[in-house]
Amino acid sequence: MTSVGSSLAAFAQTWPLWRVLGVWVAAVSVLPIGLAGVVRGQSPNAARPVELVGPIDPSWLVPPVRTAPPAKTRFIHRPPQYDPRVAARKQTLAYQLECLGLAIEDLMEQFGDAYANGAEYLRRWEALRERRHEDSPAVWAAFRRLREEALL
């Protein structure tokens, strides 16, 4: 047997069923003669055995393999909270100070006189806002203290 014949015979031993010309064929043996060969088998839904004689292209004996379509990776939409640039910007003192200022103003509008220290918190917030570019531990500590007092 040639190398093609031995590989097809090994294939016939491992795969007892496959489709030949639209018919499922069982127990197929391949006898190659140069480029020509004979395929014999018994179809489960036919009374007589199937026999094909002629040149055999091994590619049509092998079941087709489905391949996945190429992935489209040009653009993957992610919500902004997962964007590392947005997350890094939210960690800056300037961004957090702006959020704290909006929260203090909103609390003053909502609760009015019940939020008695609102004016003092806004004054301290303005002082911190002028120092927002220093980014020193003392400024961060003052920011945390103001946030705890104003929001808790």
Taking the CA atoms of residue 44, residue 50, residue 56 and residue 59 in that order, the dihedral angle to the nearest 10 degrees is: -10
Provide the pLDDT for residue 36: 44
User: pLDDT at position 104, please?
Assistant: 94
What's the CA gap between 56 and 9, in Å, rounded?
13
Task: List, run by run, the mean pLDDT of 10-residue segments along the chain (152 residues).
Answer: 50 48 49 45 55 59 63 66 75 89 94 90 94 88 94 86
